[in-house]
Every structure is written in C-alpha cells, then in structure tokens.
Structure 1
C-alpha cells in the first residue's frame, strides 16, 4: 500500500496465483482515514478478482445425425423382418419337404407293394399250371384236362383244339397215373401285361408199360398274361 499525492493511502490491485488472467481490471479504492477497520476489510475483499471460469457449450447433435440414426433404426427393423420372413419360409419349405418326402415314400411303398402282389400272382399262376400239366389220372382225365383249359389262353389253348378227346383216350387206355410237384420257380421277365416264369418240376408216373413208378424232371417257361378275365397261361415251353 502507498500514499497518494494528497496524503490518502492507495491500495494496489491484487492478482490471484496462476497464469495471467485476461482483461483484469484494476480497481482503485480510496479509503478515508475515518473508515473503521472492518469496513476496510470488506473493501479489500471486493477488490480481489476471482479466477476466470471457462464455460463450455453442450454438444448439439446435428439434424443429419438424427436422420442417419433414424435410417439405421429403420434398416435394422427391415433386416429383422426379413430375417423372420426367411425363417418362416425355411420352416415352410422344411415342412413341405417332409410332407412330400412322406407322400413319396408312401407312394413308393404302395407301388412296391402292388408290384410284389402282381409278381406273386404271375408266379402262382405259372406254378399251378405246371401242377395241372403234370398231374393227371385215367379215372379223372376229363376233369384234369378241363382244369388245364380253365386257365389256358392264346397259343397254349390253341394246342388243345381238336386234341382233347384223343388225349383222354390215350390216358385211359394206358391207365396213366401221374403226380406233379413244383420244385422251384422264379420270374424271368415282366412287361406291362405279362410275365415269363421259369418253373422246375418233378413228376412220378406209372402206367401199364412200367412195373414201377418213374420219376421225371421238367423245366418249363410259362408265359402268364394279365387280362380282363384275370391271369391266364398263354404259352408253355420246355426248357432243356
């Protein structure tokens, strides 16, 4: 503190510690000699300049950022919906595949079963035809021949035209007694309306010309045809 030219004390401006503060004003305070000490202290406190305070402006989000965020949110929603649709589509395809697979399997099984049934009918018809051909007796010749003709068709049936009576006469005169048995059979080929079946058979034959029954072995190729009247034998061949 120093005295001014008029004899009154003069207080210099005080500066707070730290870096220089811009625009610091120096306040000259003249204190009368008669002012009490308490008032001087108050005046001195008023002369102290507070340290500068830096105020920062809050960040403002530009409108472009808001729009971009909105677009991203909308894109996320679209992607989520697309993912749901893809998931539903995949599930639908899976269900459809399972249904189609099950249907196909059922149809295949049904078709296979039908084929098996048809092959069994072909085979059974051929086996029965061979038994009929190899089983004949003098005392039942008419019935035995009728049984053969009941399932005959086509070429095989034509072979009996005009020969039935002569054949019966030979059987009766020779007192033929024959019994046939199928040993083995199997389908050789199948087409849309027929099948060729190989049949192996054995026959025991006795007649007036032999003292003891004789065993004979045969192999036949029987052609079985499927028609409106059912299964018939259309051709009989001897296979060596």
Structure 2
C-alpha cells in the first residue's frame, strides 16, 4: 500500500472516531438537558401522586405488576405510567394534580381494574381515599392571604366545608377587613388535587403531597384532653423523678 493511501485511511479513521465522539457527546448533553428540563417542569407541576387505594410506599411498588390496566380504566386520562426519567418507579401509575387531578369517580374504575391488589379493593367509597394531603405551601402569594377574595381551592373541593374550610382572621394591614384563609383538614382530604389544579396562580400556592411528607407526629407523651378521655394516666412529678 502506498504511503498516500495509508495517510488517507488514517485520516478517515480519525475523522470517523472524532465524529463518533462528537455524536456521543451531543447525545449525552441532550439527555442531560432533557432530564434537567423534566425535573424543572416537575417542580412547577407538583409531586407525583399515586392513584386512590394505593398501598403504602414500598408495598405498592412490590405489588404493582406495571400492567397499566388502571391507566386504561381511567376515563379522564388522569393516570400515567412512570418512565425511567420519572420520580416514581418506572412502570407504576401516578398522576400530577396540577395537570389533571383525580375526578373522584364513584365506581373507582382504576381500583376495580387492578389485578394484584396494589390498589386496595376494599376501597369502595371514593371519599375514603387518601392519595395525599393538600398543603397551602405559599402564604406569600396566596390571594386569600393577601386579603383578596379568591376561594377557588375551597370552591372546587369535592368535600367543601369538610376537607377545606375558610377561617376568618383580622386583616391587620387595613384594620377593617377580614381575611378568609383556606384551611385543609387532613382527616377529610382525599388528595384528589382539584384544589391544586384550580389554583389561579402561575405556580400553585396549594399543592398535594404524600401524607407522610405533609404531616408530623404528635408523639405518645402528648395528650389532647379536649378530644375525650385519655387512656394513659399522666405520671405524677414524683414518678417522673423516679420516686415512689
């Protein structure tokens, strides 16, 4: 082989090698930017929420067959299947309340369609569902907190005056008017997300999050006497000091 042919072949190999590296680099960059974009959008659109009747975290992922039957059964296209780029386990169902909330179907078709029990078939009343808990996260942008009349999250709640109520407080800025503050009651909130979807702000001030993130725990040493008779006696000071 002539020296000129060797140089030509070497140049071709170098060109192909460099072109391949460039393509891989561009592909990796595009993938990275796509992931970043999805994560950014997820922050704006809220937290992925499981369907009604979902078992607790860990048990649900183990029981779910990733069959997608619950997604097919949803008449409102609320449910989606998680992808590899999703925050939820790939192949499992979820919904994003800001996009399409749960419409609280009385016959709960997604639960009926589940073949594995990952969605608990004992759930027969949609009002008993606990998909998450709504939290009014941003008091600084909520219109009601500014003393304006919005009330949209309250008005669209399927369990109005139970899951969300309005609490009247004095408007100290004007000294004359009242603010009507939306208050979420976790014992009645289903986590359907209609309040989050209905929020008129560009980014919702109220969001549905998993209940374990929304709520704290009182602890066994605190007793609320006004809630009824206490079953655990309160120790005396001497008992607390170790004296009999």
Q: Same fold (TM over 0.5)?
A: no
TM-score by length of 1: 0.30
* TM, length-normalised to structure 2: 0.30
Return the structure number with greater relative CO, CA threshold 8 A, min gap 6.
Answer: 2
**Radius of gyration: which is bigger?**
1
